Amino acid sequence: MRPVFAFDPTTITRLPQPVDEVLLVIDGAITRTNRDEAAHLDLNAIRSLPAHSLHTNTVVTDGVKHFEGVLMRDLLELVGAIGTTVQARTLNNYSVDIPMSDFYDYDVVLASHMDATQLLPSGKGPLWIVYPRDQWRQLQDIRYDYRWAWQLNRLTVK
Ligand SMILES: Nc1nc2c(c(=O)[nH]1)N[C@H]1C(S)=C(S)[C@@H](COP(=O)(O)O)O[C@H]1N2
Ligand SMILES: [Mo]
């Protein structure tokens, strides 16, 4: 894991403004923002990061699914996250605290697509935190199942 520094708001720099619908707002201890001390990201901003995909079973779908998105650690680097915990919140008001070390220990994906189809709020979208469950036995555990936040729309870095 990379070292954790004290959060210094004086180092804040700007991200580009969103052009399309904002899918994800990241706030808290971040050093790159574009509105109201938060990072408001549309799909293009998310997809400006290197694409990452994986195949895995989930506890809520049948069979192996193909997820496409970006790595959670790349997303956190994009916004200059400085902290130890990420609180994930969702459209259905679910909330879970995730240790940031998960994203350095594993290739955890912020998925925007499943089986080549964009995730929508009527399903598990707009975004879904997907762990490489099939690749690591230790991830096949209820402690990690809680962290698979679907219908994700906000992250707070603490
Ligand atoms: N948006 C959202 N994500 C969520 C949840 C939820 O209620 N809403 N439940 C969590 C829990 S407790 C688990 S075990 C896994 C599996 O959720 P499910 O079986 O309740 O669908 O998703 C997690 N992600
Ligand atoms: Mo659960």
The CATH code of the domain that includes 71 is 3.90.420.10
Q: What is the spatial distance between Cα 41 and Cα 25, in angstroms, rounded to a whole number?
A: 6
Three-class secondary structure of residue 11 per DSSP: helix
**83: CA distance to ligand 1 center in Å?**
24
pLDDT at 27: 98
- Whether residue 3 lies inside any domain: the answer is no
- The one-digit pLDDT tens for each residue of the chain (158 residues) are 454 445 565 666 789 999 999 999 999 999 999 999 999 999 999 999 999 999 999 999 899 999 999 999 999 999 999 999 999 999 999 999 999 999 999 999 999 999 999 999 999 999 999 999 999 999 999 999 999 999 999 999 99
Look up residue 1 and give its two tokens. Answer: 């894991």
Look up residue 51 and give its two tokens. Answer: 């694409």
**63: CA distance to ligand 1 center in Å?**
18
Ligand 1 site, residue 94, Cβ cutoff 6 A: yes
- Whether residue 62 lies inside any domain: the answer is yes
- Whether residue 96 lies inside any domain: the answer is yes
- Whether residue 99 lies inside any domain: the answer is yes
The answer to whether the beta carbons of residues 151 and 126 sit under 8 Å apart is: yes
Question: Is the overall model pTM greater than 0.75, yes or no?
Answer: yes
- Whether residue 129 lies inside any domain: the answer is yes
pLDDT at 3: 47
pLDDT at 106: 98
Ligand with minimal distance to 147 CA = 1
The answer to whether the beta carbons of residues 84 and 4 sit under 8 Å apart is: yes
- Whether residue 103 lies inside any domain: the answer is yes
pLDDT at 13: 76
Write the burial class of residue 27 (CB in 10 Å: 0-12 exposed, 13-18 middle, 19+ buried): middle
Number of domains in the chain: 1
Residue 132: give the domain boundaries.
18-157
Ligand 1 site, residue 144, Cβ cutoff 6 A: no
Ligand with minimal distance to 61 CA = 1
**148: CA distance to ligand 2 center in Å?**
10
